[in-house]
Homo-oligomer: A and B are copies of this chain.
Amino acid sequence: MGSGPSNPEPRVLQAMAAAPIAPDDPAYAALLDDVSSLARAVFQTANMCTLAVPGASRAGIEAVLASLVEPGERVVVGVYGHFGELLCTLAERHGATVERVEAAEWGRPVRPEDLVTSVRRNPPKLVAIVHADTSTGILQPLEAVGEACRQTGTLFVVDAVLSLGGCELDVDGWSVDAAIGGMQKCLGGPPGLAPVTCSKVAVDARARRSTLPHSAYLDLACLQALWIGRQGLERAAMSTSMLLAAREALRIVTDEGLDARWERHRQMSRALRVGLEAMGLELFGDSAHKVPMITLVHVPDGVDEAGVREQLLVQHGVEIMAAFGPLRGRVWRIGTMGTNARLPTVLNVLAALEAVLAARGLRLPRGAAVDAALAAHSS
């Protein structure tokens, strides 16, 4: 119940335990095709260049930035939490000149009009922003930014690692040129592969570069040649274990249906929040812009933040997460992602947290959290 990895379905884990497939095997190409087309459905895109970067989510993010930005080019980054800072760091590593557009504080999104103004005044090569940030639990509105980017010929890059599969992301409808998802959050897979989609405009931008990206491993043109063009297939051992797990996880997502999955995440985060408030705890962050897959809640005064987490883990087998940056020690982060966005897990974390806090002497209305969550769920 942390900020990811979430618990994959057993059939996803079993899919991974099949023997690896060699690149020469006909089943290898079919596996790449399946993952591409399932990822297209989940990203809501017709983009031909839809694939998975072989590595952690940040490998996917870095692949997009390394491939689309040439040294010295201007990049505007929206920053409202830790993962916006990461976008700045990565863009700078690859030689970009970064201009930050910041939220007023952690717990609020960047004002879309600030980004739009910045883009219109002096269009950069690329705008990059996080869609949903686990460090703050905030959801960033994207549509107006995408529209401004489209009108000014600016590439629009969205880190959707947390959001993909858990709330709406309309890559084609919102004019997103490149988006990166995370298998290990709301898609219910293990960490180790990063789904990425790139528009024709982004693919062309990579093709028109005057210099090669420094990394070959993270060069989307190389990955595209492999996945879509089927070039060099026999020489590149992707982790078919991870691809098998990704295919199974993505199938579960498309079988459930995107709308139903988003609604489930909304309902379960609502039940959790109602329960936490009934326990007398205070939620963190701008209530109009909360993500439906992670909930940040203030640690009550005088309570040992780390001690509660440890007790939850050891006594209840429930893992919740610390916060970082300015929120470290002040806030817990409780995920409701993928398989964990279900009523039994929500009620269990509420009951366990209540028991742990009560045992530490906090005066709580016993049972109120579960009752409130149940009432919210059935209403």
Contact = CB atoms under 8 A, between A and B. Distances in A.
A191 interface: yes
A25 B95 contact: no
A19 interface: yes
Nearest to A53: B55
A214 B93 contact: yes
Interface string A313-325: 1000001011010
A24 interface: yes
Most buried by B among A25, A58, A82, A237: A237
B217 A58 contact: yes
Interface string A185-217: 000001110000000000000000000111111
Interface string A1-32: 01111011000011011111110110000000
B242 A242 contact: yes
A16 B16 contact: yes
A57 interface: yes
A19 B13 contact: yes
B214 A66 contact: yes
Contacts of A21: 5
24 contacts: A4-B22, A5-B21, A5-B237, A8-B19, A13-B18, A16-B17, A16-B241, A20-B191, A22-B321, A24-B309, A24-B321, A24-B322, A25-B319, A54-B192, A55-B217, A62-B217, A93-B213, A93-B214, A184-B237, A191-B239, A192-B239, A215-B215, A218-B218, A239-B242
